Chains A and B, each alone.
Chain A
Amino acid sequence: MTARHVVIIGNGPAANEAAISLRTQAPDARITIISKEPIRYYKPHLLPDLIAGKVSEQDLYVNPLEFYKENDIRLRLGQEVVHVSFATNEVVMEHKEVVRFDGLIIATGGKPRIPEPLQVFEDLMLSLKTLSDAKVWKERLRWVDSVLIVGGDLTSLSFTKAVLSLGKKVYFILHGDSFWPVRFNEELSSEVSQRLSDRGVEVISCRKILRLVMASEDSVEVETDGRKLRVGAIGAFFGLVPDVKFLARSGLAIERGIVVDEFLRTRFEGVYAAGDCAQVYHPKLRDYWVSIGYRNARNLGRVAALNLLGGQESAETAPAGIFQLDDISVNTSWWTEF
């Protein structure tokens, strides 16, 4: 394909890797990155280190703004896509602008997931997905002595480490929805539980959170089915769901991500999905998997770009790196032990 104007929605590792691969392979292509976050590309997996004070905000950023200029990549930050029309190949922005494309890569990543029973407490719980979230945590941790972590996704473990390094007390509720999208099971739960306890984390065993109340400016009262406690802040860590609300009614198949084949193609010609927002078919497993993590996302971004330009590279990953679950497989090959 001669890519005349490729629009990339998203500004994370998959999006940026796609952009630079496109530029390398198609020097004449017009490339536009559109991102609703108003800041440039950073490494999200370093956010816990930022909170711990191990790295500065500047250390997070990957490319200076000049990089995009030098590579003739139009970077549109703080601008949100609200609709995509695959009939007319148009992206519609929140500010009522229409951007036409010849090729499209959707790499919007995910957004924090809060299980339905806990959604009533959403306002009292912090998450950690963006730099903005990390800044809120950093500020909050200046004033509080203790944190309760609910959930147990992969980010929660590095976040716990960060909070412990600041000398704060950490409580942990391994929720039934923990480890999402990896299925919660006894074996995994007790292994993680043990590791947390070894590090000085107080793991609270409960089935249900009954009540969360703001007790004061810097404390929240928590009542579970077995215990009451007061903590400085509560973090919800239940993994991510694909950030693809803008694609509703677009005609794209979306399950736990945008459904794509092993070449990251959607059902529309010239439209690809990559990174955390994609649900990728694995021909050997004969099933779908979702990607988590920085390195995987970059790889998928690269593959999407190459295939958009006419390549035939498969996104399949080594089966050893994939957790096999009932209805979904997840590549966690990057997962470092807590």
Chain B
Amino acid sequence: MPKVDITVEVCGMAGDGTIAAGGLVNEAMSLGGFSVLGFDSYPAEIRGFGRCVTRSRIGSNEIGALADETHILISLDDLQSRSRVPFLARDSAVLFDSKPDTLLEEEQSLAAVVEPGTALFGIPFTYLATAATGTSRGRNLAALGGFAALFGVQPEWFRRVITRKFQSKGEKVLEVNLKSFDAGFHYALEKFADRLRPSFAAANVVAGPEKVMLSGNQAIGQAALDAGLKLYFGYPITPATPIMEFLAKYLPAKGGRVVQMEDEIASVGAVLGAFYAGARAMTATSGPGFALMTELITHGVMAEIPAVILNAQRGGPSTGLPTKTEQSDLHAAVFGGPGDSSRIVIAPSNVAECYSFTVQSFQLAEKYQTPVIVLTDFYLDNRVENVVMPVASEKEKTDGNLYPDESLQGSYHRYLDTESGVSPRSLPGMEGFAYVATGLEHTERAQPDYTPEIHTKMTGKRHRKLQYALEDLPVPVEYSDGGQLDVGIIGWGSTFGSIQEAVNMARERGWKVAALKITSIFPYHEKEIRSFMTKCREILITELNYEGQLANLIGHLHRKEVVRLNQVTGVPFSPSAIFSKIEALLQAGVS
């Protein structure tokens, strides 16, 4: 049975229905049982202008990253799609509107620039949609019909997802979309009868348990809901805003509230206040907003108040590259802020982990009474994957607070220096357990105290509890066949999917290569990381930042200098770039 690994792009102008069409491709192929990873890019500016592109990698096997090349380009706008031509694979196919409303100049035409090895399929999207429905609004659906016919996609999959998407908008809208899809489907089937490429049909993929398409941000929002979030405080910022939008839609129905604050400082302050009072709360931001939060985050560290803060990284520093991806806030997340203010930092690497880590972050924050920072990035937040709908267990949702024993009433030491460093925490209103939460250094009874002994003791306490937290933090995941390795790659966050693909490519050649995913950035699992490093001749740490921020953090654990592979292009790592580095390391080792 032939393996399928095809990347489909839809490209158009904002307002062409590009993102909607790309979403339907994802949904339909997911329904058909394929693995799907999708990523959209669209203008940061005003609707109605600029290029929109959706990329969907569709495979019969599991997919961890976007591919380097596109195999099928569905163009809804010739001029915009010309920029996608350099990314087309050698034997790719291009579907384009062959009967636009107006004549195109050569300088505007997509057909004028495609390489001669590319199969061109001219389908009159606009004409077909208009002829079938009286309006051209369904031209993106006519394009999808052509795609389905040419590449062996069951039209029923599309009809079902179209119905699901449009039925709430009324019968007329649904009819326009279904009829437009059918018009494109039948046209292409007949017109290109001798040029069909039924790649998807040939894969004979059998649909398993029903999956849903979720973006990283949707998974985070859903996880927060499922974890019993009561209050969300935030200030809009790309790429974190969709979390607030998601929660604004669904949280009120669960008895919670979303509050747009005046800025990020207020947001994190409110989160600390809510947790102080015993309510689960969170905020989500990106680099510039996170920078504003740091002082209050350290307040949470010092006062030992839980908080859940999501930092959706984007290109920086400062305002930087709002719609581009980067992993350059690791230092800020781990070390940002005054004083020895260690806090928990975890980083999901895929959509499923966005869900599970977010659920877990509430318990961790409560149990260890410290801010928990969930580090994602633009690519992870906005990409969609088809996953079996995650559900948090009751145990995962349980209140993580350690409340004081009744017997301590009257003699309560809020910051009791226990073996683990975790002290029982009372909530306002608990009689006999009142205390002053302060950002000043303090004694076990919460009284300000700046003596060397107290500061030494309490700093040690706050750090010790993080080491205890390691047993609850997500452990590194080793991706290997065991044995000694020539190259071990360590990565984190969204980059890990590309690392996995590169390792697969290397293994197919019989190379001794493996990978380790670091999910708990701080504190980190030193023993497990060392154990992996010991097996490897070379350690390669791959990250989307300039310096190698994870390498700076854990590189010292290896017996020799780690090799760094860094990229700051604003786009995700391609598996082939990592593969090339592996190859170079192996060749250097041989010579």
User: Which among B96-104, B165-173, B294-302, B406-414 touches the partner chain?
Assistant: B96-104
Does A126 sit at the interface, judged by CB under 8 A? no
A97: which B residues are within 8 A, CB to CB? 103-106, 108-109, 111-112
Does B120 sit at the interface, judged by CB under 8 A? yes
> Please, which residue of chain B has its CB at the minimum distance from the CB of A33?
B116
Are the CB atoms of A78 and B112 closer together than 8 Å? no
A98: which B residues are within 8 A, CB to CB? 103-106
| A76-B111, A79-B111 known; A65-B116 Cβ under 8 A | yes
| A93-B111, A97-B109 known; A79-B120 Cβ under 8 A | yes
A132: which B residues are within 8 A, CB to CB? 194
B120: which A residues are within 8 A, CB to CB? 38, 77-79
Does A225 sit at the interface, judged by CB under 8 A? no
> Please, which residue of chain A has its CB at the minimum distance from the CB of B119?
A38
Alpha-carbon gap, A132 to B106, bound state (A): 29
> Please, which residue of chain A has its CB at the minimum distance from the CB of B123?
A95
Are the CB atoms of A68 and B122 closer together than 8 Å? no
Chain A window 33-57, contacts with chain B (Cβ cutoff 8 Å), 1 for yes, 0 for no = 0000010100000000000000000
Does A100 sit at the interface, judged by CB under 8 A? yes
Does B338 sit at the interface, judged by CB under 8 A? no
Are the CB atoms of A95 and B115 closer together than 8 Å? no
Main secondary structure of the interface of B (DSSP, over half): loop
Are the CB atoms of B116 and A77 closer together than 8 Å? yes
Distance (Å) between the CB of B359 and the closest chain A CB?
Answer: 51
Distance (Å) between the CB of A38 and the closest chain B CB?
Answer: 6
Alpha-carbon gap, A93 to B99, bound state (A): 10
**Total interface residues in chain B, CB < 8 Å:** 22
Distance (Å) between the CB of A176 and the closest chain B CB?
Answer: 33
A79: which B residues are within 8 A, CB to CB? 111, 120
Does B117 sit at the interface, judged by CB under 8 A? yes
Alpha-carbon gap, A99 to B107, bound state (A): 9
Alpha-carbon gap, A96 to B105, bound state (A): 9
Q: Which of under 10, 10 to 19, 20 to 34, or 35 or more describes the interface residues of A?
A: 20 to 34
Q: Which of B99, B100, B116, B122 has the most CB of A within 10 A?
A: B116
Chain A window 86-107, contacts with chain B (Cβ cutoff 8 Å), 1 for yes, 0 for no = 0000001111111110000000
Does A125 sit at the interface, judged by CB under 8 A? no
Alpha-carbon gap, A132 to B117, bound state (A): 16
Alpha-carbon gap, A82 to B113, bound state (A): 19
Are the CB atoms of A94 and B98 closer together than 8 Å? yes
Distance (Å) between the CB of B91 and the closest chain A CB?
Answer: 11
Complex partner residue of A95 from B96, B117, B119, CB under 8 angstroms: B96
Are the CB atoms of B98 and A96 closer together than 8 Å? yes
> Please, which residue of chain B has its CB at the minimum distance from the CB of A95?
B98
Distance (Å) between the CB of B341 and the closest chain A CB?
Answer: 58
Does A214 sit at the interface, judged by CB under 8 A? no
Alpha-carbon gap, A258 to B276, bound state (A): 89
Distance (Å) between the CB of A102 and the closest chain B CB?
Answer: 13
B111: which A residues are within 8 A, CB to CB? 76, 79, 93, 95, 97
B194: which A residues are within 8 A, CB to CB? 132
A20: which B residues are within 8 A, CB to CB? none
Alpha-carbon gap, A96 to B106, bound state (A): 10
Does A75 sit at the interface, judged by CB under 8 A? yes
Which chain B residues (102-140) contact chain A, with CB distance < 8 Å? 102-106, 108-109, 111-112, 115-117, 119-120, 122
Distance (Å) between the CB of B90 and the closest chain A CB?
Answer: 9
Distance (Å) between the CB of B110 and the closest chain A CB?
Answer: 9
Are the CB atoms of A65 and B109 closer together than 8 Å? no
> Please, which residue of chain A has its CB at the minimum distance from the CB of B113?
A74
Are the CB atoms of A65 and B106 closer together than 8 Å? no
A40: which B residues are within 8 A, CB to CB? 116
| A79-B111, A132-B194 known; A92-B116 Cβ under 8 A | no
| A95-B96, A95-B98, A98-B105 known; A65-B119 Cβ under 8 A | no
Are the CB atoms of B116 and A95 closer together than 8 Å? no
A to B CB contacts below 8 Å, 16 in the list? A38-B195, A65-B115, A75-B116, A77-B116, A77-B120, A93-B109, A94-B98, A95-B109, A96-B100, A97-B105, A97-B106, A97-B109, A98-B106, A99-B106, A99-B112, A132-B194
Interface residues of B (CB under 8 A from A): 96-100, 102-106, 108-109, 111-112, 115-117, 119-120, 122, 194-195
4 interchain residue pairs of minimum CB distance: A75-B116, A95-B98, A97-B109, A78-B120
